[in-house]
Amino acid sequence: MDHSAPFGPLDFQLVLLRRMADHRPELVEEARRALGADAARMREANRRWQAMARSPRGRGALARYRSALGPPPEVEPRRIGDLACESLRWPVPLWPGLRFEVLASAGGGPGGRAVFNEWLVRAPGEPGPVLGGTGDLTPWSATVDEVARAFAPARLLPGTAPTRMRLAFTDPADGAERVADFTWGLLQQVD
């Protein structure tokens, strides 16, 4: 494996898959094969990404994404309460109906722009899944935002790792509380 090769979109998709493998190893295996990468390449991509993220001389998060994915084809201003930020989105060939979104501060400071969130979201204009009940919540079918809207009021819970989120909601069929697990914003499983 050429360790000096640029870290690109394929490597980044392997990083996304590596974290998802803890919940959905069978889907990750299938996706990895579709990308033409072996398990060693996935491990190496993840190792390189972690090294870039933890390097004392490393770039900020936004610069890392731009380096790996190129200039974002979709950029738009966004307000979250009183916070002015920018949504930067890149296509992810493995999931054509989704985009990888980075929410970053609108202004840059000495350390670069602050990144508030990094996750997969539905691509603009792409129809989301029809989520009428928990039976519709299949792995990799929906994003955090889609599940939260479909099962409102949902509560965000602490994740079990930096790229993971959990969402608690009430099952409309039986009134039971359910918890959905997400990795990089994509549904992995419902308890």
Q: What is the pLDDT of residues 21-48, one digit of tens each?
A: 999 999 999 999 999 999 999 999 999 9
Q: What is the pLDDT of residues 63-122, one digit of tens each?
A: 889 989 999 999 999 888 888 889 999 999 999 999 999 998 876 554 567 888 899 999
DSSP 59: P
Task: Give 4's pLDDT tier (boundaries 50, 70, 90).
Answer: low
Q: What percent of the chain is helix, strand and coil (3-state, nearest 5)? A: 30, 30, 40
Task: Select the more confidently predicted residue: 14 or 132.
Answer: 14
Instruction: Say what the pTM is.
Output: 0.90
Please tell me the total number of residues recorded for the chain in this structure.
Answer: 191
Would you tell me how many other CB atoms lie within 10 Å of the CB of residue 147? 25
